[in-house]
A = this chain, B = another copy of it.
């Protein structure tokens, strides 16, 4: 029998999907978030003390992160966040003031996103925060993962590799404050998501929380097409190359294979590029969707398959 480790997080989605009835009116078991009747969008995701709290992060930024990962999932659909809930399973010997710092951090991220913490639950447990973000599409069409078409341009907001480099910098005593900050304080792209969905021109979208390699493959699989991304077009964050050189890390791994990025990855028809630029969202075109299935990276004139998070 296969363990969770054998199957992987992605694999479990398929197994769980097979174990439950289809979602009725709700779309989006495959998307970052589910779309409910009335245009309400909801997503849940958990973070654990053990895996999501790098050295020096502190409780407040851990709380911010717990909210951000969920808000990002509804932002990538184009929803306006309304409410955040938090179910916390926390060690009984944990200082109540530290728990309040987590709540305050979540609230600060909710405030950034225009939402409120509206409820939650604390229970004795091993150190897990499960957040839920709820948003409103306000009549806009949700941006899902399944609409990319061959010939579409593929783009990302912001820069890539910062959180990975931040993690490496922390572990190796390297001074890279901007990278570390991007690791500590992930910014959900709320206004960008709303502006992009307002154009009605985006054919697919998701956040980069699982890393560019995995996410590109997901868009390709869900949309039934392929993609070629140009290495030279990737907007690598300042400081990433230096940290990678200092730590003997492959820059490509830092930029493409790590998770913890909260930029938006999206696609649109080439003809719509001016319309998208007019939305005011800054983005970098990184590649193009293809007929041939599979996600590819072109670098130094060579084209190779991007595997899910591993070369």
Contact = CB atoms under 8 A, between A and B. Distances in A.
A122 B28 contact: no
Contacts of A96: 1-4, 6-7, 11-12, 15
Given A16-B99, A46-B89, 13 more contacts: A1-B96, A5-B93, A5-B124, A16-B103, A23-B118, A24-B118, A25-B82, A29-B117, A36-B134, A37-B136, A45-B121, A50-B125, A51-B124
A15 B119 contact: no
B132 A85 contact: yes
A97 B7 CA distance: 10
Nearest to A22: B116
A34 interface: yes
- List the number of copies, as a whole number: 2
A274 interface: no
7 contacts: A3-B92, A19-B101, A20-B116, A21-B111, A23-B117, A24-B118, A29-B119
Interface string A79-102: 000110111111111111101110
Interface in A32-58: 33-34, 36-38, 40, 42-48, 50-51
A206 interface: no
A207 to B, nearest CB: 13
Contacts of A28: 118-119
A158 B127 CA distance: 35
A5 to B, nearest CB: 4
A103 B20 contact: yes
A281 interface: no
